[in-house]
Structure formats: structure tokens, C-alpha cells
């Protein structure tokens, strides 16, 4: 069941965020059809903002249009996810290095507080809130970079990669590994160690990309097996 979230200037933005959160939270799973009238009814809006929101989501790669099915929640390919995270690894490590000279002690305190909040919501199993805090956490580290175009590119890639994380979910082992890497990253920031922070960020993104790609491969295999079983029953 969808619900409107947050405060936005247009109904299309409200619908977009509601669908985005449902996809990131894995409430709308890969292959789910997104029927305009159903969404409009659930969110108490007209068809127009729903169509606008779906068009925006398609541009991010979170949904796709299929013949005879219309808009469906996309299943990103493992290769696509790996490529996005390779790009994120390169750009985000560059952003961290450039941001460190501009981080104040107050900025680092904020980063530490965000990490503590992430650990709390991870225990609660709230994947949507974890994803939101994780975005804030990394932006708090990179946001002081003096290169706005670099940050804009990272922002675009972040949206494209969020769905892969939704499929991966909040698996305890993965969260524990990320927590350890975040701890190391904070220590590097405290010491203003740009080389260390850059290396940790790069390795962190590459690792997550590999694990997400593997999770998607398993999901695709499961979907193919189900389809084959259904086809065999129809014979």
C-alpha cells in the first residue's frame, strides 16, 4: 500500500518520492507492474502527477516500460550495477580527498552522529530510513568539496544505484562490514588523512558494487527458474 510522504512543491514530486521510497524499501519488488489508476487511487491524486512521476523514475532507471505491461519496477543488470559503482568509487574517493581540508570539527561531529543513527535504524530493519541516512552520511563527508560539478555527477549516480541496494537489503553481515568501513573512514577524517580516506572510500564502493551485482545475479536466476517452472506447467 502506497502513501504520500514528505513535503514537496508539486503532487508529481510527492508521488515520485512515495514510489521511490517504496522501491528502495523493496515494497515494490522487481517486475511489479505500476498501474497509473491504481497508484492515483492509493495516493488520492489524479492520473497526471502519477504519469509525470513515472516518467521521472524511468529516467533514473528505477522503472522501465515493457510491451503489453506498461511501467514495471526494473531489475538492473549486474553489469550495470558494477559499472555504476566503479564510477562512484572513482568520483566519491576524489570528492572525499578534496573535501577533507574544508571539514570542521563540527562537520565531523555531524558525521559521527549520522553513523550512530544509521546503526540504530539498521537494528530496527528500516531500509528506507537507513538508505536516507546513508545518503546524508556520505554527503556530509563529500559536500564540502569545492567541485560542484563533481558532486552533481555523484548525485546522479547515487539515484541510479539506490535500487540495487534495495534488492540487497539490510543483511546483518553486509551492514556489519559497512559499519566497520564507516568507522575506519571517520578515523581517517578525524586525522585529516586524505590518502587513507580516499582509499577506504574507493574500496568500500567497489566492494558494495560487487556484492550488489552478485545479489542481483541470484535474483535473476530465481526469476528465470520460476518462469521456466511456469512455462513447463503450461505445456
CA angle 12, 13, 17 (to 5 degrees): 120
Is residue 64 within a helix (H) or strand (E), and if so which, with residue range? strand 63-66
In CATH terms, is domain 78-219 a member of 1.20.120.530? yes
In CATH terms, is domain 11-74 a member of 2.120.10.30? no
CA distances from 223 to 17, 33, 94, 203 (A): 27, 15, 38, 30
CA distances from 6 to 11, 17, 57, 178, 222 (A): 11, 8, 17, 28, 35
Q: Which pLDDT score is estimated for 6?
A: 57
- Asked if domains 11-74 and 78-219 share a fold, the reply is no
Question: For every residue of 154-179, which 3-state class applies, written as one string?
Answer: HHHHHHHHHHHHHHHCCCHHHHHHHH
Q: Which pLDDT score is estimated for 7?
A: 58
Q: At what angle do helices 78-99 and 127-142 cross, to 10 degrees?
A: 40
Whether the CB-CB separation of 132 and 117 falls below 8 Å is answered with: no
> Residues 6 or more apart from 227 whose CB is under 8 A from it?
none
Q: Which pLDDT score is estimated for 169?
A: 61
- The cell numbers describing 78, all together, are 549486474
Q: Which pLDDT score is estimated for 41?
A: 94
Measured between alpha carbons, how far is 118 from 24 in angstroms, rounded to an integer?
Answer: 16
Neighbouring-strand partners of residue 70: 66
Query: DSSP 3-state assignment of 114?
Result: helix
Could you list the pLDDT tens digit for every one of the 235 residues in the chain?
676 665 557 899 999 989 988 887 778 888 899 999 999 999 999 999 999 999 999 988 788 988 877 899 987 788 988 999 999 999 999 999 999 999 999 999 999 999 999 999 988 888 778 888 988 999 999 999 999 999 999 988 887 776 655 555 657 777 888 899 999 999 999 999 999 999 999 999 999 899 888 888 887 788 788 878 777 776 6
Q: Which pLDDT score is estimated for 77?
A: 84
CA-CA-CA-CA dihedral for 101, 104, 105, 106, to nearest 10: -150
Q: Which pLDDT score is estimated for 185?
A: 95
Sequence spans of domains, the chain: 11-74, 78-219
Closest of 152, 92, 141, 150 to residue 115, by C-alpha: 141
Amino acid at each position: 500500500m502506497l502513501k504520500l510522504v514528505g513535503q514537496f512543491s508539486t503532487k508529481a514530486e510527492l508521488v515520485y518520492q512515495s514510489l521511490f521510497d517504496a522501491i528502495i524499501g523493496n515494497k515494490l519488488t522487481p517486475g511489479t507492474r505500476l498501474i497509473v489508476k491504481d497508484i492515483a487511487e492509493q495516493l488520492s491524486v489524479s492520473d497526471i502527477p502519477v504519469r509525470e512521476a513515472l516518467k521521472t523514475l524511468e529516467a533514473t532507471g528505477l522503472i522501465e516500460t515493457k510491451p503489453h505491461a506498461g511501467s514495471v519496477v526494473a531489475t538492473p543488470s549486474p553489469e550495470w550495477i558494477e559499472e555504476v559503482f566503479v564510477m562512484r568509487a572513482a568520483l566519491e574517493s576524489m570528492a572525499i580527498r578534496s573535501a577533507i581540508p574544508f571539514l570542521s570539527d563540527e562537520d565531523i561531529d555531524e558525521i559521527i552522529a549520522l553513523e550512530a543513527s544509521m546503526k540504530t535504524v539498521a537494528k530496527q530493519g528500516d531500509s528506507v530510513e537507513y538508505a536516507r541516512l546513508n545518503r546524508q552520511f556520505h554527503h556530509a563527508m563529500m559536500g564540502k568539496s569545492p567541485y560542484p560539478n563533481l558532486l552533481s555527477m555523484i548525485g546522479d549516480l547515487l539515484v541510479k544505484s539506490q535500487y540495487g541496494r534495495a534488492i540487497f537489503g539490510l543483511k546483518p553481515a553486509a551492514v556489519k562490514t559497512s559499519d566497520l568501513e564507516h568507522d575506519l573512514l571517520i578515523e581517517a577524517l578525524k586525522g585529516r588523512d586524505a590518502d587513507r580516506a580516499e582509499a577506504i572510500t574507493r574500496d568500500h564502493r567497489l566492494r558494495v558494487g560487487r556484492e550488489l551485482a552478485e545479489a542481483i545475479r541470484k535474483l535473476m536466476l530465481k526469476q528465470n527458474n520460476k518462469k521456466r517452472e511456469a512455462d513447463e506447467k503450461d505445456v
